[in-house]
């Protein structure tokens, strides 16, 4: 699969980390997305997970902030209908991120590499930002 640095699927941990802190690599990635420098891809199941996790009481994310994040994703992201893969996952909820990245031919950015196969299109936030900087 040919990698496009101009697009990405972001794991929920990136969304949550950027909502909790405006510093750090997840926030830098979300800023690139909101500045239209990177195209965000998602599917309805991913949006449902973002919505569910952002609402966790223990995260203490203000409801209006939660709604703003989801609305921004819907407004600037591209909705994809992935085909389900047959790869084994320890946590089946991770499959949809993997399959959406494959369907959109983009990079999957996650803080949890151990949850995914060792495919070339799966990157940590730091790896993605290094790749991005090397292409601009």
The pLDDT tens digits for 54-77 are 999 999 999 999 999 999 999 999
Assess whether pLDDT exceeds 80 at residue 3. no
Range of the domain at 16: 4-135
Please give the pLDDT value at position 4: 61
State the average pLDDT over residues 9-21. 96
pTM of the predicted protein model: 0.92
The span from the first CA to the last CA of the chain, in angstroms, equals 21
Quote the tokens at residue 115.
Answer: 């949850």
pLDDT, residue 1, reads 47
Report how many domains make up the chain: 1
Tokens of 32: 């690139």
Question: Could you read off the pLDDT of 80-91 as tens digits, one per residue?
Answer: 999 988 888 888
Is 120's pLDDT higher than 60? yes
Take residue 68 and report the two structure tokens written for it. Answer: 């703003």
CATH code of 102's domain: 3.40.50.1010
Q: Per-residue DSSP letters for the chain?
A: ---EEEEEEE-HHHHHHHHH-SSSHHHHHHHHHHTTSSEEEE-HHHHHHHHHHHT-GGGT--HHHHHHHHHHHHHHSEE--PPPP----SSGGGHHHHHHHHHHTEEEE-S-GGGS---TTEE-HHHHHHHHHHH-
């Amino acid at each position: 699969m040919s990698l496009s640095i101009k697009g990405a699927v972001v794991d929920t941990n990136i969304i949550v980390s950027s909502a909790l802190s405006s510093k750090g690599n997840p926030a830098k990635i979300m800023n690139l997305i909101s500045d239209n420098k990177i195209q965000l891809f998602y599917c309805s199941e991913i949006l449902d997970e973002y919505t569910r996790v952002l609402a966790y009481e223990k995260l203490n994310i203000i409801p209006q902030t939660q709604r703003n994040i989801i609305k921004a994703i819907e407004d600037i992201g591209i909705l994809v209908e992935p085909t389900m893969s047959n790869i084994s996952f320890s946590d089946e909820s991770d499959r949809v991120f993997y399959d959406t990245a494959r369907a959109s031919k983009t990079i999957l950015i996650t803080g949890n590499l151990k949850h995914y196969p060792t495919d070339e299109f799966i990157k940590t936030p730091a790896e993605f930002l290094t790749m991005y900087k090397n292409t601009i």
